[in-house]
Amino acid sequence: MGIATINPATGETLKTFTALSDEQIEAKITLAAATFPEYRQTSFEQRSQWLIKAADILERDKAKFGKIMTLEMGKPIKAAIAEASKCALVCRYYAENGAKFLADVPANTDATSSYVRYLPLGIILAVMPWNFPFWQVMRFAAPTLMAGNVALLKHASNVPQSALAVEEILLEAGFPQGAFQTLLIGASKVEGIINDDRVKAATLTGSEPAGAALASAAGKQIKKVVLELGGSDPFIVLESADLEEAVNVAVTARTLNNGQSCIAAKRFILAEAIADRFVEMLTIEFQSLKVGDPMDENTDIGPLATPSGLEEIDTQVKQTVAMGGKIVTGGKALSDRPGNFYPPTILSDIPAGSPGEKDEFFGPVALIFKVKSLQEAISLANDSPFGLGASAWTKDKAEQEKLINEIEAGAVFINGMVKSDPRIPFGGIKRSGYGRELGIQGIHEFVNMKTVWVK
């Protein structure tokens, strides 16, 4: 696949880029390696100032950055501008807390003095996806740079302008030239970079196959990797739930980012007593959503990012229906316009063995399941290869506690939507990956936790 901005709302190629040559990749790694020894000596205070400046730039130019995101991957413009603001938030969070998170941790031993010191590793490679083209990068970059590491970014090939914009923001903020560099390269170049001795670790957000490939390459080199992969998050609604609030949140949880989010609610697991009413209310809400030009502030659902993404979700829905699933609303790609548009869709009566039962649906499709008991809800939620996030709705404290303890996921949100927040760790278990981003845990992923013992 070429590196290009292709407007997903029209199919028009707006800008193409030439991938870096091997010599250019080598020059960028060499610059990163040369920058690290000096950069690691900068103070927390200095890095903090640079991150605050980056936050100011993100806020100042959020409309401009929002437009780039929307043009490249199709998210509604309001959501794109909000994403730029959220990036400012993560910069400020690590600017304010990084020094505290990385302070020496004393230990009582037989030494005169013993403690853990957190020190940077060197060059960290980030392989990032198109669905949150600024946020995914900044939530990696802020803690990584605050910790004293330097970074190389291989972004998705359909968001090159977003990738270059992030580098420009950090340079304008004052970070040294080689501290953060964007590499416009195809996926085939990643293994060569991870094999380079100067690159110390890697992080990837993306698909399961991409994660497995990177982890395999890094494993051969004994290098640390953090993976945030797919999800098929359950959204469990039990009898005591506030139904109106659950439905309102369910709409956003399934359709945010045009349904293209790893932590989107995908499987709606409903107690039989409230299931029909929930589906009825959800259908009304889905049918009222405006699908259209993502640059229009009134649009709720823009296009899917790529033609292949549209084809995949269309195929998944067709196969599920062919096996016995029922379309409640939507269910067909919109062929009355150019671009990769798929309507908000609800499928019920999901057959065993169908894509609707097991696969991740990366688009605005809600999958409905009915259960007779709490235990059945938990068993169904866990009957998935993924374990990223889960949302559960109940006012019953005992039910809440059981859900928190027994759902197999990196995050459980009770009476709320699963979301990433700089203040709490983010990541999954099972085939959703390993390691954590954000919070204090995120900044500790790419440091040497060095034990110091002095007598």
List, by residue number, the catalytic residues. 228, 262
What the block records as the tokens of 432 is: 């959703």
What the block records as the tokens of 107 is: 């230990």
Residue with tokens 């080598």: 26
Which residues are within 8 A (CB) of 386 and not within 5 positions of it... i.e. 6 or more apart? 229, 230, 231, 232, 233, 360, 428, 430, 431, 432
Is residue 129 within 8 A of residue 257, CB to CB? The reply is no
Neighbour tally for 99: CB within 10 Å: 15
Q: How far apart are CA 416 and CA 250, in angstroms?
A: 9
Helices (H) and strands (E) in the chain, counts: 15, 20
CA distances (Å), origin 218, targets 125, 206, 292: 11, 16, 42
Dihedrals phi, psi of 429, to nearest 5 degrees? -125, -175
The CA radius of gyration of the chain, in Å to the nearest whole number, is: 23
**Length of the chain in terms of residues written:** 455
Return the closest-CA partner of residue 231 out of 410, 442, 445: 410
Is residue 122 within 8 A of residue 200, CB to CB? The reply is yes
